[in-house]
Structure 1
Amino acid sequence: MDLSKPLSRISELYSDNLERNGPVSTAVGWNTPESQRLRFEKLTSVVDAGAQPFSVNDYGCGYGAHLDHLLERGMKVSAYHGYDLSEKMLDTARARLGGFQGELDLRQSTTLETEADYTFVSGTFNVRFEASEDEWKRFILGKLDEMHRHSRKGFAFNLLSTYVDWQEPHLFYGDPLFWFDHCKRNYSRQVALLHDYPLYEWTILVRK
């Protein structure tokens, strides 16, 4: 399964968005800062309130907005490992997050290589371009296996929902029932599906 072309196009898309918009929510595909924060709130709810300080893998980190969110909430993050396809995004993240007091590790890679307490994926799997639905589904399944292996306490991710009236042909929409069942059967007995917030997506939390 060769996904080099769609992955390259995804990198170009977000690099171009960053140049055009700067380090704001629209650069990473969210229409408003409010919708971006809501997604972060749902993903972050996987964190055990008593588990601080904790380390983070952020797969598809963009310019580091999720770390901003965690710190603004007063959470104690000991290490932040950010992964992104776009070197321009990573350069911007390095400049923005230079004052972070914990370990800062930013990598241009599609493969998770660091172990952390929690792994987050926010919107990273939404754009598939010319990859077929089956190819992209298998790609995500492989990434979830990586997240499971590299997350000590849990992980969280979101996908566009199949419970919509229409679908964009270049985006990937996930059946929440399939993904919940997959996580429940393969990763943990403690799995939550959040599909009760006003966006055309859902979030899954896996606690280990």
Structure 2
Amino acid sequence: MPRVDSQKFYSSAIDKYGITAKGVNWHSKESQKIRFDIILEMLPDELNSYSIADAGCGFGDLYLYMTKRKRAPKEYIGIDSLADMYSIASERTGCEIIIADICKEKLPAADYYVCSGAMNVLEEFETHLFVQNCFNASRVGFIFNVLHGERKSETYNYLTTSQIEQMAAHLGVQKVVLRDDYMQEDITVLFLKESI
């Protein structure tokens, strides 16, 4: 059982804030951009040689940000479980957007999987499934950000560094890169399939 009803969690935010960073439950547009910048730093410089799958793509904001920064990938696939997100992201990006439950369904292959914020309301078990499915569907690696620390919350999902390292060991990750120096209680993680 999910920690919160994702449909209600996001639909109420869209109704209240529209197609904005707050509409996908980000604290602010600035915090969303900071997280996107860290993801872009972890991706290869020659991003136009790689395909990217955006797990929990929301409105397609990451793709639009990549394009604005002249870092668009060779191919972008957005994946979200909510029909509202599918419709909005399809229209805004012009890219392939798929409706799927990332924890349960077979995912399309891509060089890199990325996820910004979509795991913040999952249960611990769901988080493991989400990470496992994205990592397995990636050819090179998976980059994700999550809330970081020991805090217990009825709504939000916090992971410790130890939990992240245990997941990496379980998945046979060859190289792990952690960044927690950009925002309090947030961490961005890169799981690579080969130690490059």
**TM-score, scaled to structure 1:** 0.82
Indicate the SS of the match to 1:170.
coil
Aligned to 1:179: 164
State the one-letter code of the partner of 1:10. Answer: S
Q: Pairwise mapping of residues 76-91 of structure 1 onto structure 2 (< 5 A)?
A: 76-91=72-87
Please say if residues 4 and 155 of structure 2, whose CA atoms lie closer than 8 Å, have aligned partners that are also in contact: no
Residue of structure 2 equivalent to 1:72: 68
When structure 1 is superposed on structure 2, of 104-113 and 146-155 the one drifting more is: 104-113
Q: Indicate whether 1:195 and 2:180 are aligned.
A: yes
- Residues 41-67 of structure 1 deviation map (CA, whole Å, 9 limit, x = unaligned): 122223121353221111110000000
Q: In the aligned structure 2, how far is the partner of 1:168 from the partner of 1:185?
A: 25
Does structure 2 retain, via aligned residues, the 8 Å contact 1:43–1:156? yes
Match for residue 9 of structure 1 among 1, 5, 10: 5
Counterpart pick for 2:124 among 120, 124, 137? 137
State the match for 2:146 in structure 1.
159
CA distance in 1, matches of 2:99, 2:38: 26
1:105 is aligned to 96
Give the secondary-structure state (helix, strand or coil) at the position aligned to 1:113: coil
Cα deviations across residues 112-168 of structure 1 (Å, max 9, x unaligned)? Answer: 52101111111111114xxxxxxx22211122221122111111112211255xx43
The runs of at least 4 consecutive aligned structure 1 residues that moved more than 4 Å come to none
CA distance in 2, matches of 1:171, 1:31: 13
CA distance in structure 2 between the partners assigned to 1:61 and 1:113 by the alignment: 14
Instruction: Report if the CA contact (8 A) 2:149-2:158 is conserved.
Output: yes
Question: Residue 188 of structure 1: CA displacement?
Answer: 2.6
RMSD: 2.0
Displacement of 1:19 in angstroms is 2.4
**CA 1:8/1:31 → structure 2, altered by over 3 Å: closer, same or farther?**
closer
Separation in 2, partners of 1:159, 1:206: 14
Paired residues, what number?
Answer: 190
When the two structures are superposed, what TM-score results if normalisation uses the length of structure 2? 0.87
Q: In the alignment, does 2:114 pair up with 1:127? A: no
Would you say 1:169 and 2:154 are equivalent positions? Answer: yes
